[in-house]
Amino acid sequence: MPDSKAVIFDKDGTLLDFHSTWNEAIGSAFDLVGDQNARELAAELFGYDLAERRVLPHSAFISETSETTDNLVADLIDVVTFKQTINETAQQNIVPNKGATSALNALTDRGWKLAIATNDSESCAMNHVEALKWSHFFTSVKGFDSGHGSKPGPGMVLAAAEECNALRGVYVMVGDSVHDILAGQAAGAITVAIGQQPAALQLADMQIEELGELIDIVDDL
C-alpha cells in the first residue's frame, strides 16, 4: 500500500469553538454544586469564572487531560455528576470552528486522511464527531485514554499517523495550544498553529487564523 498523507487535528479550540461548546456546559455543572464554598473553591482550582461563566485562559481544562481537571476538584465535588453534566450539556451545544466542515471536505477531496488527537477522552471525542456528522471524515480518533499517552507526548500523534498509513509519508499536526505543537514536533509532524496563543504560534512551522487557510498550506506540501 503506498504511503498516505494525513492531517491530524486537535479537537477543542481547533475543530470546535472552545468557548461556545464548553463555557455554559461547565457553568451548568457548577450550578448543581449545592455547597457555595465548595463551588467557589472548585471553580478557582478548575480555572472557571462563575460570574462571567467562562473558562479562564490558565485553566488546565484547555490543554491538559480531562482526567487532570477531574482530579483538581475531586475532593470538593461529585466528579461523576459534574463530568456527566458537562459532557451531556456540551453534546447538545457543540459549535464547530468557522470553516471546519468545509475544510474537512476539501482535505478529503484532495486525498488527505484525517485524524483527531485530543487530550479529551476518546469516547467524548467520538461523541462530538458523531454529533456533527463528521464520522466519515476521520480514519483515526485518539484521546488521552486510547493507550498512547497524552499531549505534549508524541504517542497519540504517531498512532494516528500510523493508522492513516502516513508515517513514511507526510503528516501535519494542527492545534491551538503549545501542547499540540510540542506533540506534533516530537512526533515528526509538520506543525500548524491556529488561534491566538502567542507561544503556540511562535513554536509552529506555520500559522493560520481559520481552518480554511489550511487548504493552501497542504496544497504546497
The pLDDT value recorded for residue 47 is 95
The pLDDT value recorded for residue 65 is 87
Mean per-residue pLDDT, 70-94: 92
Question: What are the grid coordinates assigned to 190, written together?
Answer: 509538520
Question: Which residue type does 125 have?
Answer: A
Please give the Cα distance from 11 to 5 (Å, whole number).
19
CATH number of the domain at 5-17+96-219, please?
3.40.50.1000
| Confidence grade of residue 74 (pLDDT, cut at 50, 70, 90) | very high
Mean per-residue pLDDT, 158-178: 96
Nearest to residue 62, comparing CAs of 100, 18, 15, 31? 18
Mean per-residue pLDDT, 131-155: 96
Domain limits of the chain? 5-17+96-219, 19-92
Mean pLDDT of the chain: 94
Model confidence over 10-66: pLDDT tens digits?
999 999 999 999 999 999 999 999 999 999 999 999 999 999 999 999 999 988 888
**In the chain, where does DSSP find H-type helix?**
18-31, 36-46, 66-73, 79-92, 100-109, 122-131, 155-163, 178-186, 198-203, 214-219
pTM over 0.75: yes
| Confidence grade of residue 221 (pLDDT, cut at 50, 70, 90) | confident
| Confidence grade of residue 2 (pLDDT, cut at 50, 70, 90) | low
Portion of the chain with pLDDT greater than 90, in percent: 89
